[in-house]
Amino acid sequence: MKNAVVLFDGDCNFCDSSVQFIINHDPVGYFNFASLQSEIGEELSEKYNIPDDVDSLVLIQDDQAYVKTDGALRIANHLTGLWKLAYYLKSFPRPLRDAAYDTFARNRYKIFGQLQACMLPPPHVRKRFLDK
C-alpha cells in the first residue's frame, strides 16, 4: 500500500475534526481515510485483526495496523509543521500513553458529541476517502 489509511469513528465529532486536521496538514496526500463503520473499514479491520474494542482511530501503514497512541504518533510524524515533534512522545511507556488515550476516547462523545451529518469534502479531497 503506497499510502497509509486512517480508519476513524464516523460518528464522532472529534474524529471528524481530526480527519480534517490531518487533511490540512498532509499536503502530499499521504493519508487516505475510511470510517470504521464502512464496508471497507470493516474489511480492513478484519484483515488486520483490529480488536473490536478499538473504535476511535487506526492507522494502516506498510501493511501493518497501529492503534491508539502508536497510530496517532505515527500520523503526527507525517504531518507538516511542529506536529512531527509529537512522535517523540513515543519514548513514554506505551501503557501510560494508551491509558491517557483510552480515557480520552471513552469520553469523546460526552465532550465533543456525535455527528448528525457527514462532511462533504471538495472533489480533490473526496478521492482520498475509500468508503464504498
- Write out pLDDT tens, residues 38-94: 999 999 999 999 988 887 789 999 999 999 999 999 999 999 999 888 888 889 999
Distance in angstroms (rounded) separating the CA atoms of residues 9 and 118: 11
Examine the pLDDT at 128 and tell me if it is beyond 90: no
Cβ-based burial of 42 (10 A; exposed 0-12, middle 13-18, buried ≥19)? middle
pLDDT value, residue 33:
95
Topology annotation, domain 4-116:
Glutaredoxin (3.40.30)
pLDDT tens per residue, range 88-112: 888 999 999 999 888 887 877 676 6
Q: What count of other Cβ atoms lies within 10 Å of the Cβ of residue 45?
A: 21
pLDDT value, residue 28:
93
> Cα dist. 44→64, 80, 85 in Å?
11, 27, 29
pLDDT value, residue 79:
95
Examine the pLDDT at 1 and tell me if it is beyond 70: no
Output phi, psi for 116, to 5 deg. -100, -25
Joined together, the cell numbers standing for residue 114 give 456525535
Helices (runs of H) and strands (runs of E) counted in the chain = 5, 4
pLDDT value, residue 120:
62
Amino acid, res. 96: L
DSSP-assigned beta bridge partners for residue 129: 33
Distance in angstroms (rounded) separating the CA atoms of residues 32 and 125: 9
